[in-house]
Amino acid sequence: MFGIVKSYDKGFGWIVIDIADGGGEVFVHYSNLVDEQYLEKGDRVEFQIGEGARRGQTAAMNVKLIEETGPEEDVEEVDEKPDGEVPIISGEPDTLEEGESEKEHEVDLLKETLIE
């Protein structure tokens, strides 16, 4: 799986999972980094999903740094709807096209983001 580091501080943080890999976010802990790398917001990583130290917690495992982009790059926030539907990427407000449902609109926005 692939993703972008949303936040990382004091040895732990969150990775935004690429939409192609299912989207959402996953916890990351320094003990699961390959080669004792340090992550920064915006870094692109490859990882696997596994069970974290806390029983039942999903976490990123075998995290490898692919591309350092560092804190200068701004990472878009990903918010999940409370009912677990398609993640919504925060950013510029957009309007629905005539006859388009909110869910269809969100999917179109996610596709556009992947293409960019």
The pLDDT tens digits for 64-103 are 999 877 555 455 555 555 555 545 444 444 565 666 666 6
pTM attached to this predicted model: 0.58
**CA–CA separation, 97 and 46 (whole Å):** 35
Q: Say how many domains are in the chain.
A: 2
CATH of the domain at 44: 2.40.50.140
Is residue 48, in this structure, part of any structural domain at all? yes
Residue 91 belongs to some domain of the structure: yes
Q: Are residues 12 and 39 in the same domain?
A: yes
- Same domain for 85 and 63, yes or no, is no
Question: Based on the domain organization, do 89 and 61 belong to the same domain?
Answer: no
Considering the domain architecture, whether residues 49 and 6 belong to the same structural domain is answered as: yes
- The whole-chain average pLDDT of the chain stands at 75
89 shares a domain with 62: no
Residue 73: inside a domain, yes or no? no
Domain range holding 96?
78-115
